[in-house]
Amino acid sequence: MVPWCGRGGASPDAPAPLFLGLFIVPTIESIVREPALNFGVIDPAARPGARYNAPAGDAGTRSFRTPAPLKHKPHILGRHTVARSRLFRVDAVDLEFGNGARRNFEQLVASGEGGVVVIPVTGKGEVVLIEEYALGTNEYELGFVKGLIDHGESARDAALRELREETGLAARRLELLDEVTLMPAYSNFRSSLFVALDLYDDPLEGDEPEPLEQVRWPLERIEHLHADSRITDARTRLALFLLTRHLRRASRLPDGEA
C-alpha cells in the first residue's frame, strides 16, 4: 500500500464529517436518479420524460404521471466560431425560443469524442487515486484516472489505455457506471465513468510531464475522501458515490459504510 503523504488532505482514520450524510449524499443521489427522495427525479424504468412522484405520506411507493408535452427546443438561427484552440473552440450561437425571444449564447465545443474517468479497485480492497497538477485550479488535485477519448477509440478502449498509462495497471473487468455531462448549459463535453476490477500489472508509456503519485485508499474508509481538500472535481465526487452504491449492490461493502 502506498503511504499517505498528502498536502493538507484528510487522513484515512479521520472522523467522517457530519455534513456528508446531510448534504452531499442526498444531493448526488438526486442527480443519479435514485427514487429515494421526492425531488421529481427521472426514473430510468419509465418512458423518456416520465417523472417519479411520491404520493403524499407514502414516499416509498412508486407513482408515475403522464408528463406534460416537452417544450420545443429553440431554433438555431446561426452559428459561427469566435475562438479556437488545440482542444476547444468557442461558437457564438443565435437562438430563437418558442415564445419569440431571441438570445445569443456561447458554446464551448470540445474536440474529440469526450472523456473517461476510471476507478481502479484492487484485490486488496483499495481504490487507486492519482495526484496530478491541475492548471485550472493551479493546485495538485487528487482524483481518479481520467483522460480524453482519442479519435477512433471507444470509451471502453480509452479507459483501459488511460488506466495503463497513469497507473501501470490493466483490468480484466471494466464496468460502466454512468455517462455525465460537464456544464451542459455551455459545453457539449461528456465523460464516461468506469470501475476497473481484477487488476494486474501492464504499464503503458503515456504523455504525462512528470511522474504521477498514486494514493491507495481502503474501501472501508472511502467516505472520508469526501473531506479531502484536494478533491474538487465534481466527477470524482460523483464517482465516489457511484462506486459506493455499485459495491454495496455487489455486497462488497457493509451497509454501514458510505
Torsion of CA 37, 43, 48, 52, to 10 degrees: -50
Predicted TM-score (pTM) of the model is: 0.69
**Is 139 a residue whose pLDDT tops 70?**
yes
Pairing of strands 169-181, 190-201: antiparallel
Confidence of residue 50 (pLDDT cuts 50, 70, 90): very low
> For 79-134, what is each residue's pLDDT tens digit?
999 999 988 899 999 999 999 999 999 999 988 789 999 999 999 999 999 999 99
Rounded mean pLDDT of the chain? 77
Cβ-count burial of 108 within 10 angstroms (0-12 exposed, 13-18 middle, 19+ buried)?
Answer: middle
The pLDDT value given to residue 165: 97
Is-contact 129 217, C-beta < 8 A? Answer: yes
**Is 37 a residue whose pLDDT tops 50?**
no
The residue that leads in pLDDT, 46 or 202, is 202
Confidence of residue 224 (pLDDT cuts 50, 70, 90): confident
The residue that leads in pLDDT, 229 or 41, is 229
The pLDDT value given to residue 244: 87
The pLDDT value given to residue 57: 41
**No. of helices (H) and no. of strands (E), the chain:** 4, 12
The residue that leads in pLDDT, 37 or 215, is 215
Confidence of residue 67 (pLDDT cuts 50, 70, 90): low
